[in-house]
Amino acid sequence: MFNFLMKLFRNSNKETAVKASEPQQKQKEFIIKDELPIAYRPELISELKKEHQALLRLHAEILSSAAQRNSARTASSLKEFNEELSKHLKTEFKDLYIFLEFFSMKHMPEIKKSIRDFKVEMHDISREVMGVIHKHEADQFETDESFDAVITDFHKLGSALVDRITREETELYGMYETISQRFEIG
Per residue in 81-100, pLDDT (tens digit) is 999 999 999 999 889 988 88
* Residues 157 and 66: beta-carbon distance below 8 Å: no
Tens of pLDDT, residues 106-122: 778 888 888 888 888 88
pLDDT at residue 42 is higher than 70? yes
One-letter-per-residue 3-state SS of 22-79? CCCCCCCEEECHHHCCCCCCCCHHHHHHHHHHHHHHHHHHHHHHHHCCCHHHHHHHHH
What percentage of residues in the chain have a pLDDT greater than 90? 40
Q: E strand or H helix at 185, and its extent?
A: strand 183-185
Q: Which of 63, 89, 62, 97 is nearest to 76 (CA)?
A: 62
Does residue 17 register a pLDDT over 50? no
Between residues 143 and 12, the one the model is more confident about: 143
- Rounded to the nearest 10 degrees, the angle between the axes of helix 144-167 and helix 44-67 is 160
> Which amino acid is residue 158, in one-letter code?
G
At 134-184, the pLDDT tens digits run 999 888 888 999 999 999 999 999 988 898 899 999 988 998 888 877 777
Residue 7 scores a pLDDT above 80:
no
Any idea what DSSP says for residue 109? G
Confidence of residue 43 (pLDDT cuts 50, 70, 90): very high
Architecture of domain 36-185: Up-down Bundle (1.20)
Cβ–Cβ contacts within 10 Å for residue 92, how many? 20
As a whole number of angstroms, the longest Cα–Cα distance in the chain is: 100
